[in-house]
Amino acid sequence: MINQNNVQSNKVPLDETLKILFLDIKMSNMLRTHKKKSLEAQKCHKSRPILW
C-alpha cells in the first residue's frame, strides 16, 4: 500500500524500510522451513509425493 506522505516526500522512513526487510526475512525463513518440512514429508510418504 502506498502512503500518501511517502509519495510526496519520495522517500520511505527508515523504520518502514527495516519493517519491510524484517518481514521479508521472516517470510523467506518461513518458506525455507516449509520447504524443509515438505521434503521430510516427501521422504515419509514416498507413495504420495508433495508437489512443490
**Residue 16 · residue 1 · CB < 8 Å:** no
**Residue 38 · residue 50 · CB < 8 Å:** yes
Tens digits of residue pLDDT in 1-52: 555 554 555 576 788 888 999 999 999 998 889 888 888 877 766 656 555 5
SS (H, E, C) 16-28: HHHHHHHHHHHHH
Question: Whole-model pTM?
Answer: 0.45
